[in-house]
Amino acid sequence: MYDWEELTNTCKKCKKCRLSNMRKNVVIERGNRNAPLMLIGEGPGEQEDIQGRPFVGRAGKLLDLLLDALMIKEHQYYITNIVKCRPPGNRVPSEDEAQTCLPYLRNQVFLVKPKIIVCLGATAMKYVIDRDARISQIRGCWIERKGYWMMPVFHPAALLRDESKKVLMWEDFKKVKQRLDTICQS
């Protein structure tokens, strides 16, 4: 396992998969490295690649509105992705691209030591919780594993395409907020 400096430098120099050939920036993190809540997405989009920070595009702005509305403060969360470089055209990362980056994600989980992990979307759910699960069937359900409370939810980008999912996302994140409040009080 790397410390933060080693992990950051290793990610920035990484050339292990073809995504590194097209990136402007490696997108590693945003938020508090000691947060009780970790949010994991799929991979950087165009704005994330430009700015070098996860969830700063349209989906990220929607996520920020949700977190603000539930009064989940920036010091309470840490955001990252399965892959650290943008897949072309914002496509889903391939199996080999995801597998190449997963050790970096595991290292981040080890360093942050969150109590809660929220998987934003099917790709994050697949690589963190269950390869065979369907997001529409297990979203909003708590899964306890290895001392972490995990919940898959829809990706914020899905809400931009289908507004009917906003109510479900709101309900899911209310559960996250309740669990977060309980953990922070103890």
Give the tens place of pLDDT for each residue, 127-151. Answer: 999 999 999 999 999 999 999 999 9
- According to DSSP H, which parts of the chain are helical? 4-13, 46-51, 58-69, 95-112, 122-128, 135-138, 156-161, 165-185
Which regions of the chain are under pLDDT 70?
186
pTM of the model: 0.97
Q: Tell me, what's the pLDDT at 49?
A: 96
The 10 Å Cβ neighbour count of residue 166 is 16
User: What percent of the chain clears pLDDT 70, i.e. is strictly above it?
Assistant: 99
In this structure, what token pair is assigned to residue 21? 């050939």
Phi-psi region of 93 (alpha: psi -120 to 50; beta: other; left: phi over 0): beta
Which pLDDT belongs to residue 87?
96
User: Tokens at residue 17, please?
Assistant: 């998969």
Q: Which two three-digit tokens encode residue 12? A: 């920035």
Q: Model confidence over 92-115: pLDDT tens digits?
A: 999 999 999 999 999 999 999 999
Bridge-partner residues for 152, per DSSP? Answer: 119
Amino acid at 121: G
Cα torsion angle, 26, 32, 35, 38, sign: negative
Superfamily, domain 4-185: Uracil-DNA glycosylase-like domain (3.40.470.10)
